[in-house]
Amino acid sequence: MVETAALLDIARLVVGTTILSYASYTDIKTRRASNMLWVIMGSVGTILLVIQYLTIGFDNIFYLIFIPIMIVLMYVFFQLRLIFGGADAKAMMALAILVPLEPSIFEFPLLRSFMPFSWVILSNSVLLFLLIPVSLLIFNIARRNIEFPYCLLGYKLSVEKAKERFVWPLEKIVGGKRKFSYMPKEFDVENDLETFEKNGIMEIWVTPKIPFMIPLLAGFLCSFILGDLLFHLMNLII
């Protein structure tokens, strides 16, 4: 018979996977994720914590203090633009409530850690996100478009197609010359694209607006199955 603790963690896994999957889908389609998703996740997380407290208790209640710490930290990260999307920050806040403690489902996760589990999810998501430049480099090598640092951050696209897709220009016009620009100040880059057309530039380097929700979903699943990748990677290096 599956123990109560494992059942609660399975419920957290199912809820987190379902909500993050739907959020990833809507983020890809519209670059939006409903706030109601995070209200539901946080509410379910609170209910599961109450059930755990009333049934089996907590092995180490100390980790619960990281719930408000992570919520405040994600707010600060968002204000500093270390997390660009508001939905990403809210998702991490809700995850801090849903899974504040390291889960234990049979033999998983494989790599145990002393870090708060919401932090493990975030660090794993960031590590997976860092694989994107490698993929872009391989893509650009195949197309023989090797120009650093552009080839690590994006790909070439016509200005006309850029208007129809979720991309940011990796270039801007400064003093009549094309300059590297990684992140625009404004989400809407329509004016920037029109500037390229006015200057007779028909093809530019762009970076895809890849929703962080996708690596967050992957990081969530990875954390439940493999565990804290960053912690064990650092142990191997040290």
Q: How far apart are CA 140 and CA 15, in angstroms?
A: 38
Answer whether the bond into residue 149 is a cis peptide, omega within 30°.
yes
Same domain, 162 and 225: no
Same domain, 189 and 217: no
Listed range (4-18, 44-58, 164-178) with the worst mean pLDDT: 164-178
How would residue 1 be classed by pLDDT, with cut points 50, 70 and 90? Answer: very low
Same domain, 93 and 192: no
Dihedral over Cα of 183, 184, 187, 192: its sign:
negative
Three-class DSSP category at 228:
coil
How would residue 141 be classed by pLDDT, with cut points 50, 70 and 90? Answer: very high
The closest of 133, 161, 126 to 149, measured between CA atoms, is 133
Q: Which domain holds residue 141?
A: 132-208
Same domain, 113 and 141: no
pTM: 0.83
CATH number at residue 217: 1.20.120.1220
120, 29 contact by CB (below 8 A): no
Same domain, 62 and 165: no
Same domain, 63 and 99: yes
Token couple for 127: 């590590």
The pLDDT value given to residue 210? 82
DSSP bridge partners of 180: 171
Neighbours of 95 (CB within 10 A): 30
Between 13 and 106, the more confident residue is: 13
The closest of 132, 135, 128, 130 to 220, measured between CA atoms, is 128
Share of the chain above pLDDT 90, in %: 57
Same domain, 150 and 195: yes
Half-sphere exposure of 94 (CA within 13 A, CB side): 26
Same domain, 104 and 142: no
Same domain, 59 and 75: yes
Our measurement of the distance from residue 114's CA atom to the centroid of its chain's CA atoms, rounded to an integer in Å, reads 22
The pLDDT value given to residue 166? 83
On average, the pLDDT of the chain sits at 90
Same domain, 81 and 156: no
Same domain, 118 and 159: no
Same domain, 138 and 177: yes
- For residues 78-96, average pLDDT: 87
Q: How far apart are CA 1 and CA 202, in angstroms?
A: 64
141, 122 contact by CB (below 8 A): no
Number of domains in the chain: 2
Three-class DSSP category at 109:
coil
